[in-house]
Structure formats: structure tokens, C-alpha cells
Structure 1
Amino acid sequence: MDPITQLLTVIAFVSIGILFSPETSRTGSDGGYSSTISTLIKLAHLLSFSIAWGAAVWGVLIGGLIMFRTLPRHQFGNLRTKIFPVYFLTATACSMILIITFAYDNSWRLMEEKQKLQLLLLLSSFGFNVINLVVFLPMTLEVMRRRHKVEREVDIGEEVGWWKNKLVAKHNPNLAAMNKTFALVHGIAALATMASLSSLALYSWYLASKIHL
């Protein structure tokens, strides 16, 4: 297990332990202890949302586009093999903390329909992140590595953009087939990523309605 996975695992288990420990439910005579725990839970919720949302917007939309338009394709792809596992692992851990902290003070049977919808949005974001981390990310990276090998055989991949790949693929059935496979797998992974991001975007509206400035 790599250090980042270990760190996120420790954070997740510590968070669960704090949230569900018997001491968490204790309330002092002036309510100070309960108020402190409540504030910590809200802080964990806000920080987890901020990290998950910020990582998605920057890593997937802004940073990803800048890297694609600046780096040679193989260098860009190799960099993504390092970034994406950490991103999806972080997003999954943050989604789990969001779910735990949201449900902490809310019993499902006592929740209003609006609250239940928000919890379902968080569960949806968590589910899509897990699917990407466990299923689609390994598939995408494996197909990408195989396509890199085919491209190196025809001396392409060190240019910026797709123009050379498309040109060679017209006369190379093997590369054309790899392109189709990659487009399919990567497309499904991208849809799952956007679904997770959309769930967080919808939840942000509910979260904003609870903030008093």
C-alpha cells in the first residue's frame, strides 16, 4: 500500500472513530462540548467538500486542459497515470467523509425529502468515484499504455495534440482499433467523473443555502 493510500485510510478510520465514539454524544452542562464537536464536524464537512470540488475543477477541467495543450501526448498521459489515482482516491475519501458528517445529526427516518435528496447526491458522488477508482481508471490506464506502445512503433506520441495520431491511424488498423477502444473506455470514465462532479455541484446549492454571511 503506497503512503498516500495509507494516509487517506488512516484519516477515514480516525474520522469514523471520532464521529461514532461514545464521547461524541456527551453534552456538558453548558453545551460547550457538544458545540465544539458540532463545529468540528461542520469543519470536516466543509473542508472535504472544498477539497473534492477544488480537485475536480482544477485537475479535470482547468489543469487537465492546460497540460493537454502544452505537453507532448505521451508525457501528458504518463503524468495522468500519477495524478488520477491520487485524485480519485482523494475524491473517494472526501465523499465518504461528506456522507458520514452529513448523516451524523440526521436520522434517515427524520430527514425531510430535501435532506434525503442531498444525501443521495453525496452517495452518488461517492459511488461514481469508487467505480472510476476500481474499474474504469485501471482499464483506461492499461489501454493507454498499450496504445503508447503501438504509437512508439510508428514513431509518434512526442508531439502536442492528436493531429499526428489521426493521420497515422488512417493507414494503421491496429492504431485505429486502439483509438476506438481508448475512446470508449475513457469516455465512460469521463462520464462517471462528470456525474460525480455534477452531484457535488447540485449539493453545493444546498450547502450555500445553509451559510449565513
Structure 2
Amino acid sequence: MFPAYFSMVGVCCAISVAAFGYLHPWKSATMPEKYQLGFLVSAFAFNLSNLFVFTPMTIEMMKQRHKVEREANIGDEIGWSKNQEAAKTNPKLAAMNKKFGMIHGLSSLANIMSFGSLAMHSWFLAGKLNL
């Protein structure tokens, strides 16, 4: 699901960057327009980091984790408690949980930064509306 989400947002960001850059060339753009292009480029960059860095790391970690869980005879039940109990006795699983948490946190941060950049651009666009 996440690769499709990040791909779609990436395509939309690329189109937005291209369209905004075309309509507001850098040399003739006002300072607010330059900021908007910066917000769009940063949203695109954060999204690409999720797509090409964090998603592959997460998928690889998930595959390794499933292998360790099968070896420990856990992972078929619903919930987190069995995994936490096993992580107390299995240092490999505990290390994987820690690494997964770090990767997930960085991915979430990149997603929030991308969302924030797009929110700032939406605010700029909303300010241009004449109702």
C-alpha cells in the first residue's frame, strides 16, 4: 500500500513542481512564489526519500522479521503482546523491533514534513482565491 501511496504523491508533486515552475519562472518570481516552489520541491524530496529509502528498508526489515517470527513460532496472532514477550528473550527480535521503530519514525517524520510543505502551499493557493 505505501509504495503506491508514495508513488502517487510523488507523481502529483512532480507535476505541481513542473507546473508552478513553468508558470512562475525563478528569475521573475516574487519572493512568496519562490518560497512556494521551495515548499513544493521539499515535499517532493521528502516523498522521494520515503519511496526510495525508507520503504525498501521497511520491506526488507519486515521480511527479516517474519523469518525470525516463524522461527520463534510467533506472528500468527493478532496484537503486539506476544512479540514484546518474545523480544525480551530474543535479542535478535529486540534489535529488529528497535531498528524498525527507528525506520518507521524517520518515515513518519518525512511524511509529516511533506504534508506540512503541501499544507503551506495550499495556504498560499487559498490566499489567492477571490470569493
How many equivalent pairs are there?
Answer: 131
Match of 1:144 in 2: 62
CA distance in 1, matches of 2:26, 2:70: 55
Does residue 87 of structure 2 align to residue 160 of structure 1?
A: no
CA distance in 2, matches of 1:157, 1:192: 28
TM-superposed CA distance for 1:158, in Å, is 2.6
CA RMSD between the two structures: 1.3
Q: TM-score, normalised by structure 2?
A: 0.92
- Secondary structure of 2:107's counterpart equals helix
TM-superposed CA distance for 1:84, in Å, is 1.0
Does residue 97 of structure 2 align to residue 182 of structure 1?
A: no
Match of 1:195 in 2: 113
Does residue 10 of structure 2 align to residue 92 of structure 1?
A: yes
Report sequence identity in percent.
50
CA distance in 2, matches of 1:205, 1:157: 44
Residues 141-166 of structure 1 show CA distances to partners (whole Å, capped at 9, x for unaligned) of 10111011111222222333322211
Match of 2:32 in 1: 114
- Secondary structure of 1:158's counterpart equals coil
CA distance in 2, matches of 1:201, 1:157: 38
- Secondary structure of 2:26's counterpart equals coil
TM-superposed CA distance for 1:114, in Å, is 0.9
The amino acid that maps onto 1:144 is: M
Residues 38-96 of structure 1 show CA distances to partners (whole Å, capped at 9, x for unaligned) of xxxxxxxxxxxxxxxxxxxxxxxxxxxxxxxxxxxxxxxxxxxxx11111111111000
Alignment of 1:16-31 (within 5 A): none
Q: TM-score, normalised by structure 1?
A: 0.58
Structure with greater Cα Rg: 1
Which shows bigger deviation, 111-120 or 152-161? 152-161
TM-superposed CA distance for 1:182, in Å, is 1.1
CA distance in 1, matches of 2:74, 2:127: 51
Structure 1: any 5+ residue segments left out of the alignment?
A: 1-82
CA distance in 2, matches of 1:117, 1:156: 50
Match of 1:130 in 2: 48
CA distance in 2, matches of 1:210, 1:149: 53
CA 1:208 to 1:161, structure 2 compared with 1: closer, same or farther past 3 Å?
farther
Alignment of 1:31-42 (within 5 A): none
Does residue 91 of structure 2 align to residue 173 of structure 1?
A: yes
